[in-house]
Amino acid sequence: MSSYEARFKVWRGDVGGGDLQDFRVEVNDGEVVLDIIHRLQATQAPDLAVRWNCKAGKCGSCSAEINGRPRLMCMTRMSVFTREETITVTPLRAFPVVRDLVTDVGFNYEKARQVPAFVPPEGVGPGEYRMMQEDVDRSQEFRKCIECFLCQDTCHVVRDHEENKPAFAGPRFLMRVAELDMHPLDAAAESGLDRKRTAQDEHGLGYCNITKCCTEVCPEGIKITDNALIPLKERAVDRKYDPLVWLGSKIRRR
């Protein structure tokens, strides 16, 4: 097994401020960035705060920015960097820091709560749902989400504009709205909930200008923009310019 000493810069601090700290640390074959962070905790910085759980790319906890790019620390192999490179690890920039590499991702839980749940169709019991396989496949892609919030962190709409946060759900939760809106058994419309309208008016779909940065960082390879956001935009526009919807709204206003 070969090993070498890597140069790391790790952000240390809390809500009051902080700075990058330099470390030199051993790296062995096959290791990932999270291994190195754990070695730092074991040998040089026992109080370094980091959130992680599965070390298998499935819990979505170890999100951070590595050389400025939002990534999972447990799925970022050290072999993608050269031995001479200095590797910088910083907390997710779009969310408030708690300490060191740990951020408060509560924004995402608030946004999750704002998306009304699937409405079961009347008269059809659990186990009796029937759907076309292509509809199942469509939702299943979105269901691979591990809630790492890397897409939420990278989207410039909130990353660079804190003031947009109240009005914008972010790619992860617009994808959830899209999933429910495409679901053939969702009975939201029957109960008066128009998901296309809420996507625009309550979840800020119009803020997304299809930069696709969210898709680029998704560790599950979900095509967030092409398969969720663009179709949702198309459906919302269709609804807006549908002559029957237009006529209905005029009649209702009388």
Work out the number of other CB atoms within 10 angstroms of the CB of residue 114.
Answer: 12
How buried is residue 19: exposed, middle or buried, by Cβ count under 10 Å (0-12/13-18/19+)? Answer: exposed
Q: Which of 53, 86, 140, 211 binds ligand FES (CB under 6 A)?
A: 53
Does position 49 interact with ligand FES (CB under 6 A)? The reply is: no
Q: Which of 31, 220, 223, 245 binds ligand SF4 (CB under 6 A)?
A: 220
Q: Which of 60, 171, 204, 219 binds ligand F3S (CB under 6 A)?
A: 171
How many residues contact ligand FES, by CB under 6 A?
A: 12
Which residues, numbered 120-149, are part of the site for ligand SF4 (CB under 6 A)? 145-149
| Residue tagged 């924004």 (tokens) | 107
The binder of 54, among ligand SF4, ligand FES, ligand F3S, none, by C-beta within 5 to 8 A per type, is: ligand FES
CB 6 within 8 A of CB 83: yes
| 99-103: long-range contacts, CB 8 A cutoff, minimum separation 24 | 99/13, 99/14, 99/49, 100/10, 100/11, 100/12, 100/13, 100/14, 100/18, 100/48, 100/49, 100/50, 101/10, 101/11, 101/37, 101/48, 101/49, 101/50, 101/51, 101/64, 102/49, 102/50, 102/51
Does position 92 interact with ligand FES (CB under 6 A)? The reply is: no
Does position 213 interact with ligand SF4 (CB under 6 A)? The reply is: no
Cβ nearer to ligand SF4, comparing 42 with 112: 112
Q: Which of 39, 225, 233, 236 binds ligand F3S (CB under 6 A)?
A: 225
The residues that touch ligand F3S, with contacts defined as CB under 6 A, are: 155, 157, 171, 208-214, 225, 229
The residues that touch ligand FES, with contacts defined as CB under 6 A, are: 52-55, 57-62, 72, 74
